[in-house]
Structure 1
Amino acid sequence: MIKATKQEKDIVLEILHSAFFNVLIPNSINFTIKKDCKRHERLMALMDYQFKMSMKYGEVFISNDKDGCVLYIDKIYSSLQKISWEIELLFKCIGIENTFKTLKRENLLKRYHPKEPFKHLWLMGVRPKFQGKGIGSKLINETLKRYKGDLIYVETTIPQNIKFYKNLGFTIFHETHELNYPLYFLKLRNQI
């Protein structure tokens, strides 16, 4: 596993874009992205935002084969840079008309965050042709060693992901259908 630096940004964006571009089911990414003919650009803008946020407020890891990556967030605080990134995201990805529904989603997520300090497993992606080959599991297990003793939190919308995370030791602590897709909130007290 490699801890990413800003020099690996293009690798991380390409992994994430390829992992999510053809996933068209209702989920958090598709809920956020403005629906038009610019899906490629809007998805890249979202992944760019998530990379920058994770580099500033957490960590990004890439599998040794560079076919998977995972983004963690620790503690987010206000800054002019963060506000600038959010404005850029609004115009390049979300769209003005989607602002209120996206804010509603963010408030919903925050409402169910654990009350104690946690590491947020914010996003993970594996290149499509390598999915199901253990790259994601290996990457998560390697990152968990780094966060021994920490509470790890993740949310997902896809039932297959629930099985994946449960196999890694996560448990569901909340489920909601308040948006147009299900949201499952999972956590793990990391003892690895």
Structure 2
Amino acid sequence: MLANGPFYYRSLNIGDLKKVPTNKELGEGSSVAASRILPVTGEPIHHTIPLLAARLVRHEDRLDAIATLVNNIPNEQVEVMSSEIEQLVMGHLEMGTMIEQLSAQFGEAMEFIGLLCTASTTNRNIMCDIDEALDTTRAQVMSLRRAQQEAQARERDRGQTIETMATKIQELQRRLDDNQGKP
């Protein structure tokens, strides 16, 4: 039975709680005391008490069997079970502490992962900047190579022009010399 204020409750069925009447409700201390009728059920007490006694007698064997079973549990077994329960409780508390530690370590790991992600993003941005600089440098190198090739082509053309002019000058010189030697 569970105590709840001045009233006591007994369970008849699961979830079906009935209030046991107080002395005042039974009629003791009120004007109904002479009739002794239960205000809750409306039955006279002299009918209810024998009915309850008969029910107790009918279930006496079951109650005795339960009492015998409880009394036959060895104290050592109860102590062992109590010790095991205590160990389970301690293990549960230790697990709680370990979970708190793991949670703290997980939080630290998540912060570190966040820092790594930031560093990775920064690294990626730097690599993109380097790639852009390399692309610009490649374009400049290609432009310089073309300019160099064009300059070399102009130099070859100039060399050929000079060679052609030198040949013509020599030919003109020879003609001039040949013309001067003729009368």
Same fold flag (TM > 0.5): no
> What's the TM-score once normalised by structure 2's chain length?
0.21
Say which structure, 1 or 2, has more relative contact order (CA 8 Å, 6+ apart): 1
Q: Which has the higher helix share?
A: 2
Q: Which has the higher strand share?
A: 1
Point out the structure with max Rg over C-alpha.
2
> What's the TM-score once normalised by structure 1's chain length?
0.20
